[in-house]
Structure 1
Amino acid sequence: MSEAARERDRRMGERRQPRRSPTADESWFGAFGSAEDTQVSQYENSPEMKAKAGDSAAAPASSTSDSRLFSRQAERIVSAGQTAFDRIYRTFIGARAALGVALVLAQAITGLFGARPSLEAALISVAYGTLALVLWLLPRKTPVEPKALARVFGAPWLSTIGVDLLAFSALHMLAPGSSLNYVALLVLPVLMAGVLTPRPLALATSAAVALMLLAVAWFGGLQGSNLTQLLTQAALAGSGFFVITVLAGELAGRLAREELSARGNMEMARQQAALNRLVIEEMQDGILVVDRRGRVRAANPAARRLLAPTGMSRPAPFQLRGVEAWQGLVRTVEQAFAESSWPEAGRDVTLAFEPDAARTLRVRVRFTRHKAAQANEDFCVLFLEDVRNMQARSRQEKLAAMGRVSAGIAHEIRNPLAAIAQANALLAEDATDAAQRQLTRMVADNVDRLKRIVDDVMEVAPGAVQDIVAIDATAMVAAICSDWARSVGVKLGEQSVLRVELPPQPLGVAFDAEHLRRVLVNLLDNAHRHASGAPGAVVLRLDSRDDARAFLSVASDGTPITAEVERYLFEPFFSTRSRGTGLGLYICRELCERYGASIDYRARAAGDPHPNEFYVVMRRMPLADTEARLHLTS
């Protein structure tokens, strides 16, 4: 394989490895590792608290946020992208540098004590120590890869194991003329080869060392020494080197497998932590993790919204104690830790933010350990839910059930109602005096009213989903306004009660023409009913906010709607009129939701001549070419 191909494989391998930003806060419970505490003296609206909250939000997440999941050493290694091979290689480089210095010092010390070392051994020791120190001190731009040490004639292998074998073999060959024994030094290159190189190359290194020892022993026997003794010593030393090679290779392989498994487990733990964090942060219920001292270690966005009268409270960690509005929550936490249990359904706690503003929360407490009641709990988890939301959800469920029943009843009423209307018409033909005609008119008026109620109920009953097509909102709104003005007797013009502002070009929206008529007529009726009757008392405006939305608003100069009435505007069967059904705005909202639109009310700023405004936000949709041409030619 060419060098370019190897470099390409290395880069591809690096891209496959998962990378992690050192500042990524992947654990929702990362605040557990923080040693700081934050004492709150006043509520969030104070300038000091706002400044602290801003600093906390602007500060980057700590790189040790996952300290509860991983050890600091593991976190440092993974964050730096360091592998076990690289760490062991650097350890061997440091050991070689230390050994080189020790060799030079040994030569110097033996000279001081009168044992004059040979000049060749001294030169080899100095040269080896210098090379080892230079390699250790040399800055690394890229880490050494295992493939580099798998080649005998590669630079990493020659500069480390090769140099060690050459230097220590030379020192051993000069040992008969020296007072030092250098055989033990050969353990370093053999051990390094067993740990960092493939097994065949490691065994070849041990074989080379064993052959060198046997050759030196044979040469010593030729010089008159005891050949048998020398060969036995060399054979035992060579066998020991083979054992070291095999054991080192097994330990290195086990270390590599453990590291691979640890990295996989850490990655899975990170993914699980990120998933838990996403789920918890998207939950509608507020979640707080609180310790015995009342310190909030973690809080999701829903909980932070519940703890503030407006907006959101500061991010965790923060202290519950010290804020007057949170005293009820503090007592709840203290009671939970004291009892080590909590009712399954929870208890209600009131947060009094201001003298005239309060929020009641349903608090459910769960503990982090599932042990006996007398166990010493360190943390508890608080699940918070606004009681108003619970009541609204219960009310919506009841309304949905009532709507299904009402739709069925309305369907059954139609036939008897038609019979009553027909019978009343026959009676009206035979009525001779004024009293009889008045009674038949009363019956007819009430039959018409019942028909309207039945139609309203059936309008919002579940049915088949219709295909959504684009309509020209500009032309449709203009036609609806003209028809409405004729029906209620309003003259259009500069002095008209109704002022209409439409865009000059066609505006395609996703809506049904008849349903848009129903919504707009209801809004115009309500606005005209409560307006003053002066010119321009009701203003209708249609425009396009962007390429995705169209905005239709109906504003009037009537008395501003109170907060008590505003909260029930779109609920069924709520009306401020004695003869109203209370289904008008509710039907408008249901019809808008069918087409991905929304309807709402907002009170304009004080001093605005039209304080009440109902607005509908519709989805833009391109018009068909035929419809656009018809609009332009009409």
Structure 2
Amino acid sequence: MSRRIPQRRPAKQPAAAAERPAPESWFAALGVEQDTQIDEESRYNDGSTLPSEDSRFLTRHARRLLGPGMPSFQRIFRAFLGARVVVGLLLLGTQLASAGLGTGAPWPVLAGCVVYAGLTLATWFVYRRRAGGAGGSPLRLSRTQWLATVVLDVAAFGTLHLIAPRGGLNFVPLLVLPVLMAGVLTRRQTALAVAATVTLMLLGEAWREATRGGDLGVLMTQAGLVASGFFVIAILAGELAGRLAREELAARGSLELARQQAQLNRLVIDELHHGVLVVDRRGKVRAANPAARRIISDSGLARPAPFPLQSQPVWEPLAQAVRRAFAEGQWPQAGREIHLIFDSGLERVLRVRMRFTRRRDPDSSEELCVLFLEDERDVQARVRQEKLAAMGRISAGIAHEIRNPLAAISQANALLAEDAVTPAQRQLTQMVSDNVERLKRIVDDVMEVAPGGPAATPPVVDLTALVATVCSEWSRTARLPQDERSALRLELPAQPLGSRFEPDHLRRVLVNLLDNAYRHASGRPGCVEVHLYPDGEGVVTLSVASDGAPIPPEVERYLFEPFFSTRSRGTGLGLYICKELCERYGATIDYRLRGAHHVARNEFYLVMRREALDTGAPTLHLDT
């Protein structure tokens, strides 16, 4: 009993686990030192369970293993307590039945059965009450308590065997229960000590019978054979319990790895820009990431999984594609186009690729398939973006080389302007100066979005104060009245909203959007609307809308491409620079045509991540 029982250590490596001595019993394998803790949370190394959303694809057997059931050692201990109650009640019932038939045992045997049955029932009820007590506190059984159950059984069955008359009920087989209980619930030395105690008891009983005239050799041989059986039971029970303990410890490690992998998979899938749907053969969506829920909805997010694709008429093309894929057992590698037409009249073209889960046998079709959804506009935009990236690197190099000749032209023109005396000469030098400035702006715009080194982490700015300041400055620059006749309508939240964005860059984006909105607006009061608001959890939206004519579809698709402009003297870099600056800080910018009930229907909106404001950071104030 002096050897310390090895403590359980989480996240053991295979080599370390191989060097650790094999546990000799269930409690030893679980690292019991002073107390035996029976707690559901001990099933995993970190006391956690696999979330239900991570286990929706598990088999029934795996669900049972991962469920909130008892650990194996607790079920074994509970089974032993139940067996003791059954044995006690059977002993009591047997003695009462014998007494009713007039062949009952002496009253000490009956009294012993009554006491034993009462103690086992009391132990059972105390265990049940403590195991399911209020607050979910774990049940702790000290070594003294669980040894007392074994000692009680040995003492009770041994005493009943000694006081029972000859030819009556044989109580020796009942001693198997405490020996088996000791083999499973204690260390090997303790289990062998219990078997030795029972052996000494049997040998003592054989010697007593020999003094009464029995054959000592036969009685000792019988007692020795029975005792050897008890030793075998104790050793085998300990070995089986140790093996069960090792298997459960290995299962705990595997389940912990599965839990972590499931959390990692869910995190990766949720962060994907592509929509991911997991659909079964019946067309029921088992899992859907936020990108997929956004793609299959005309506005906002669709409801979380699970849900059937047949529940919405707009999803019927997807449901038909799934049925077709299961029927054919294959899907084109490049995917297929599927059109979704929403109730609002919006039509969305999706590029759908499918992959199937594991195949049970070569001739059967899969039970689950994974759908990867992409908006066709995003696919085309990605292709354009790749082309623009290459063109941007070339443009940046060209713009850098243009700066030096441009500076020389500007200086030469300034010298010529000093000698210009006639109006015609001054007009020519002014034309050169204007075009030089225009070329400088183009070069600056190109260099602004040129790829460079890693930028510093942008600060968290107060969007409410910054938008108010920029709009105020822009109104004064545009000479707009500062009252209800103003063409600008500003709607800001009452509380500050934070986001990571370089203030100068956000100012440039907002001024560019305001210039474009006012240029195409009617000029009436309220023709330009600026709205800042929190849009869902962790997101802030900045909207700039105008009441100008709706942008034609053939123009809309090229809005954010460089060098595309509807004005003869426009560079076509304004919205492109806005898009590049937004993507630099993890924000997005897009255009949408609002409903007819809105006065300002043309809307450009920025979606930014919301960040907590630093209370010690300086804030921007509205100039009055």
Superposition TM-score, scaled by structure 1 size: 0.73
Aligned AA for 1:581? T
Q: Which sits farther off after the overlay, 378-387 or 407-416?
A: 407-416
* Secondary structure at the counterpart of residue 380 of structure 2: helix
Distance in 2, matches of 1:290 and 1:624, equals: 48
Which of 144, 166, 184 is the equivalent residue of 1:195?
Answer: 184
Distance in 2, matches of 1:544 and 1:381, equals: 35
* Secondary structure at the counterpart of residue 142 of structure 1: helix
From the superposition, tell whether residues 101 and 67 of structure 1 become closer, same or farther in structure 2 (CA, over 3 Å): same
- 1:361 deviates by 1.2
Q: What does residue 47 of structure 1 align with?
A: none
From the superposition, tell whether residues 215 and 423 of structure 1 become closer, same or farther in structure 2 (CA, over 3 Å): closer
* Secondary structure at the counterpart of residue 363 of structure 1: strand
Aligned AA for 2:248? E
Q: What does residue 70 of structure 1 align with?
A: 62
Which of 49, 73, 83 is the equivalent residue of 1:85?
Answer: 73
Report if the CA contact (8 A) 1:340-1:373 is conserved: no
* Secondary structure at the counterpart of residue 70 of structure 1: helix
Q: What does residue 580 of structure 1 align with?
A: 570
Aligned AA for 1:87? R
From the superposition, tell whether residues 272 and 415 of structure 1 become closer, same or farther in structure 2 (CA, over 3 Å): closer
Q: What does residue 247 of structure 1 align with?
A: 236
1:222-621 pair list within 5 angstroms: 222-321=211-310, 323-354=312-343, 356-369=345-358, 374-418=363-407, 442-443=431-432, 445-463=434-452, 465=455, 484=477, 522=512, 525-526=515-516, 529-530=519-520, 568-590=558-580
Q: What does residue 97 of structure 1 align with?
A: 85
Q: What does residue 47 of structure 2 align with?
A: 19
Distance in 2, matches of 1:509 and 1:377, equals: 45
Q: What does residue 152 of structure 2 align with?
A: 163
- 1:389 deviates by 1.0
* Secondary structure at the counterpart of residue 140 of structure 1: helix
- 1:498 deviates by 8.1
Distance in 2, matches of 1:189 and 1:247, equals: 14
Which of 128, 131, 140 is the equivalent residue of 2:119?
Answer: 131
From the superposition, tell whether residues 355 and 474 of structure 1 become closer, same or farther in structure 2 (CA, over 3 Å): closer
From the superposition, tell whether residues 363 and 440 of structure 1 become closer, same or farther in structure 2 (CA, over 3 Å): same
Report if the CA contact (8 A) 1:341-1:373 is conserved: no
Greater Rg by CA? 1
From the superposition, tell whether residues 224 and 342 of structure 1 become closer, same or farther in structure 2 (CA, over 3 Å): same
Q: Which sits farther off after the overlay, 467-476 or 160-169?
A: 467-476
Report if the CA contact (8 A) 2:270-2:291 is conserved: yes
Deviations 1:526-548 (A, max 9, x none): 466445667x7888999999xx9
- 1:508 deviates by 13
Aligned residues: 575
Distance in 1, matches of 2:128 and 2:521, equals: 81
Distance in 1, matches of 2:85 and 2:342, equals: 68
Q: What does residue 53 of structure 1 align with?
A: none
Deviations 1:130-154 (A, max 9, x none): 3333433445333597963x44xx4
From the superposition, tell whether residues 368 and 223 of structure 1 become closer, same or farther in structure 2 (CA, over 3 Å): same
Distance in 2, matches of 1:325 and 1:474, equals: 39
Deviations 1:283-332 (A, max 9, x none): 22222223333333333332222222223333333333464433332332
What is the root-mean-square deviation of aligned Cα atoms in Å?
5.0
Aligned AA for 1:406? S
- 1:390 deviates by 0.9
Aligned AA for 2:566? T
Aligned AA for 1:90? R
Distance in 1, matches of 2:319 and 2:500, equals: 51
From the superposition, tell whether residues 352 and 111 of structure 1 become closer, same or farther in structure 2 (CA, over 3 Å): same
Q: What does residue 118 of structure 1 align with?
A: 106
From the superposition, tell whether residues 283 and 121 of structure 1 become closer, same or farther in structure 2 (CA, over 3 Å): same
Report if the CA contact (8 A) 2:532-2:543 is conserved: no
Report if the CA contact (8 A) 2:36-2:140 is conserved: no
Report if the CA contact (8 A) 1:296-1:316 is conserved: yes
Aligned AA for 1:262? A
Distance in 1, matches of 2:501 and 2:165, equals: 103
Report if the CA contact (8 A) 2:184-2:237 is conserved: yes
Distance in 2, matches of 1:357 and 1:604, equals: 12
Distance in 1, matches of 2:374 and 2:467, equals: 44
Report if the CA contact (8 A) 2:521-2:528 is conserved: no
- 1:237 deviates by 1.7
Deviations 1:417-469 (A, max 9, x none): 45555666777788898777766665554444333323332333234657979
1:32-43 pair list within 5 angstroms: 32=57
Q: What does residue 28 of structure 2 align with?
A: none
Distance in 2, matches of 1:543 and 1:299, equals: 29
From the superposition, tell whether residues 537 and 347 of structure 1 become closer, same or farther in structure 2 (CA, over 3 Å): closer
Aligned AA for 2:306? P
Distance in 2, matches of 1:259 and 1:443, equals: 84
* Secondary structure at the counterpart of residue 169 of structure 2: coil
Distance in 1, matches of 2:446 and 2:365, equals: 58
Q: What does residue 17 of structure 2 align with?
A: none
From the superposition, tell whether residues 19 and 419 of structure 1 become closer, same or farther in structure 2 (CA, over 3 Å): closer
Report if the CA contact (8 A) 1:572-1:582 is conserved: yes
Distance in 1, matches of 2:543 and 2:323, equals: 51
Distance in 1, matches of 2:539 and 2:86, equals: 73
